A = this chain, B = another copy of it.
Amino acid sequence: MIVFNARGLMPPVFTPLNDDLSINYNVIPAYAKYLADNGIKSVLVGGTTGENMCFSVADRKKVADAWVKTGKTCGLHIMVQVGGAPLSDVLELAEYCSKIGVDSLLTLPELYFKPQSVSELVSYVKLVANRAPNLPVLYYHIPSMSKVELNMPSFIIEATQSIPNFKGIKFTSNDLSECAQVLRALKEDQEVFLGADTLLAPAALLGVKSSIGTTFNLFPRLAQDILVAVEENNVAQARNLQNKLSLAAEAHTIEGAWVPIMKAGMEIVSGIKMGPPALPQLPISEEAKKRIAARLKTLKLIN
């Protein structure tokens, strides 16, 4: 039986790039250590933040290799997102990951011939899960990007019935009402990872204990403190810290698209070289970076 035990805050890692847009593998060990030193126990490789939808299969394999190797050293659970490419590549990646020591898989839905029903989506995820039968497999629900907007509670029930290694979903939507329904539909050994940095505290109140959020790269301690405040029944503290994290996110979002702004913010906050976003996305301007830094200072999130 497949056991899936990653829980709590899971940063979706950036893929560091050199200025020539090649992948900068050298920085990964330092990046992993920074996360582990800040209390992080698991990471998602190749999600939206990791821009895997822009890379070749060969590069995606090398990135997975690098994180698996480093993850062993730091004691990180390595989840790899294998979707967002032609299905033949997705299947090849799933099989590859099943052999190199990846701990769990996440997959987007088909992006072109989009599933028109819950059954079609289950059928797709099953194809992927069958290629990595030794790994826990989760589904990546992110309708704002994938434009696949199916009912998640129904999906979970049907996927659980037909996919032995189906272990949950990443739920990237601000609809906590549906997220609570997802939670009620999950079995003991399955998990929902919220994907909404601005809703960490209210989701925790509803019982959502795990999250995948880009800002956990930048502010892992703050995110952890939010969960602790809810755990300790300190509502006012949870609200204040959530407000702080939300304002930190907004300090970035007014400057552009999610990955370019967050990649810039990560460099500002951590000092670790992230480089530009992968094409077709473009980096934000130096002026925008300065404005972000100024706002983070005002929020006392950097010195």
Contact = CB atoms under 8 A, between A and B. Distances in A.
A184 B243 CA distance: 9
A199 interface: yes
Chain A: interface secondary structure? Answer: helix
A196 interface: yes
Contact of A56 (B88, B205, B206, B233): B88
A10 B73 CA distance: 56
B279 A127 contact: yes
Contact of A177 (B48, B92, B196, B278): B196
A176 B235 CA distance: 16
How many copies are assembled?
4
Interface in A232-281: 233-235, 238-239, 242-243, 246, 250, 257, 259, 278-281
Interface in A206-250: 206-207, 230-231, 233-235, 238-239, 242-243, 246, 250
Interface stretch (A28-36, A110-118, A290-298): A110-118
A205 B89 contact: no
Interface in A138-183: 145-147, 174-178, 180-181
B174 A257 contact: no
A4 to B, nearest CB: 23
A53 B113 contact: yes
Contact of A280 (B108, B127, B178, B203): B127
A86 B201 contact: no
A146 to B, nearest CB: 8
A293 to B, nearest CB: 22
Interface in A72-91: 84-89
A246 to B, nearest CB: 6
A42 interface: no
A104 interface: no
B202 A205 contact: yes
Contacts of A280: 87, 110, 113, 115, 120, 123-124, 127
A177 B281 CA distance: 25
A203 B202 contact: yes
Contacts of A120: 280
Contacts of A235: 205, 230-231, 233, 235
Given A116-B257, A175-B175, A230-B235, A87 B202 contact: no
28 contacts: A53-B86, A54-B87, A54-B113, A55-B86, A56-B89, A87-B278, A108-B112, A110-B280, A111-B112, A112-B145, A115-B280, A123-B280, A123-B282, A127-B280, A147-B147, A174-B178, A176-B199, A176-B202, A177-B196, A177-B198, A177-B246, A180-B242, A181-B250, A205-B235, A205-B238, A206-B242, A231-B235, A233-B234
